[in-house]
Structure 1
Amino acid sequence: MAAPLSISFFASSLVSAYWNGAATYYRGMVRALSRLGHRITFYEPDAYERQAHRDIDDPEWAAVVVYPATEQGVLRSLEAARGSDLVIKASGVGVFDELLEREVLRLKRPGTQVIFWDVDAPATLERIASNARDPFRSLVPQYDLVLTYGGGDPIVHAYRGFGARNCIPIYNALDPDTHFPVPPDPRLKADLSFLGNRLPDRERRVDEFFLSVAGKLPHRSFLLAGSGWEDKGRADNVHYLGHLGTGDHNAFNCSAMAILNVSRDGMARNGFSPATRVFEAAGAGACMITDHWEGIEYFFEPEREICVARNGDEVAQILERLSPSIAAAMGVRALARVRAHHTYAHRARQFQEIFAAGPIRRAYIGGAP
Structure 2
Amino acid sequence: MKIAFYGSSLLSSYWNGAATYYRGLLRALAAHGHDITFYEPDAYGRQENRDIEPPDWAKVVVWQATPEALKAAASEAAKADVVVKASGVGYEDDALLEAVLSAARPDAVRIFWDVDAPATLAELKEKPDHPSHRQLERLDLVLTYGGGDPVVSAYRALGARACIPVYNALDPRTHHPVPRDERFAASLGFLGNRLPDREARVEQFFLEPAERLPEASFLLGGSGWTDRPLPANGKPIGHVGTRDHNAFNVPPTAVLNINRASMAEIGFSPPTRVFEAAGAGACLITDEWPGIDLFLEPGKEVLVARDGADVLDIMADLSEERAAAIGEAALKRVLAEHTYEQRAVLVDDLLRKTLAARRAGAAA
Fold agreement, TM-score > 0.5: yes
Shift of 1:221: 0.8
Q: Which residue matches 2:36?
A: 40
* CA distance in 2 between partners of 1:361 and 1:76 (Å): 29
1:316 aligns with 2:320: no
Q: Which residue matches 2:83?
A: 87
Deviates more, 1:11-20 or 1:139-148: 139-148
* CA distance in 1 between partners of 2:74 and 2:57 (Å): 21
Could you say what secondary structure the match of 2:351 adopts? helix
Shift of 1:356: 2.7
Shift of 1:189: 0.4
Could you say what secondary structure the match of 1:45 adopts? strand
* CA distance in 2 between partners of 1:184 and 1:271 (Å): 32
Asked whether the equivalents of residues 83 and 107 of structure 1 are also in contact (C-alpha less than 8 Å), the reply is no
Instruction: Spell out, residue by residue over 1:174-197, the C-alpha distance to the aligned partner (whole angstroms, 9 max, x if none).
Output: 011110000111121001000000
Percent identity reads: 56
Q: Which runs of 5+ in 1 are unaligned?
A: 363-369
Deviates more, 1:191-200 or 1:133-142: 133-142
1:134 aligns with 2:139: no
The letter for the 1-side match of 2:246 is N
What are the within-5 Å matches in structure 2 for residues 201-212 of structure 1?
201-212=197-208
* CA distance in 2 between partners of 1:57 and 1:41 (Å): 14
Could you say what secondary structure the match of 1:357 adopts? helix
Alignment RMSD (CA, Å): 1.2
* CA distance in 2 between partners of 1:206 and 1:178 (Å): 27
What are the within-5 Å matches in structure 2 for residues 1-369 of structure 1?
5-359=1-355
The letter for the 1-side match of 2:305 is A
Name the count of aligned residue pairs: 358
Asked whether the equivalents of residues 116 and 145 of structure 2 are also in contact (C-alpha less than 8 Å), the reply is yes
- TM-score norm. by structure 1 comes to 0.95
Could you say what secondary structure the match of 2:215 adopts? coil
* CA distance in 1 between partners of 2:357 and 2:347 (Å): 14
* CA distance in 1 between partners of 2:23 and 2:354 (Å): 25
* CA distance in 2 between partners of 1:350 and 1:108 (Å): 23
Q: Which residue matches 1:366?
A: none
Could you say what secondary structure the match of 1:255 adopts? coil
The letter for the 2-side match of 1:8 is A
Shift of 1:141: 2.1
Q: Which residue matches 1:365?
A: none
* CA distance in 2 between partners of 1:237 and 1:224 (Å): 10
Instruction: Spell out, residue by residue over 1:225-248, the C-alpha distance to the aligned partner (whole angstroms, 9 max, x if none).
Output: 000012222110111101111111
* CA distance in 2 between partners of 1:186 and 1:220 (Å): 15
Asked whether the equivalents of residues 104 and 114 of structure 1 are also in contact (C-alpha less than 8 Å), the reply is no
Asked whether the equivalents of residues 77 and 100 of structure 2 are also in contact (C-alpha less than 8 Å), the reply is no
Shift of 1:107: 2.9
* CA distance in 2 between partners of 1:167 and 1:338 (Å): 24
Instruction: Spell out, residue by residue over 1:117-171, the C-alpha distance to the aligned partner (whole angstroms, 9 max, x if none).
Output: 0000000000111112222122122211100000000000000111001000000
Shift of 1:109: 3.4
* CA distance in 2 between partners of 1:201 and 1:360 (Å): 41
* CA distance in 2 between partners of 1:294 and 1:80 (Å): 40
Q: Which runs of 5+ in 2 are unaligned?
A: 359-364
Shift of 1:360: 7.9
Asked whether the equivalents of residues 133 and 158 of structure 2 are also in contact (C-alpha less than 8 Å), the reply is yes
The letter for the 2-side match of 1:148 is T
Could you say what secondary structure the match of 2:250 adopts? helix
Could you say what secondary structure the match of 1:40 adopts? strand
Shift of 1:359: 4.5
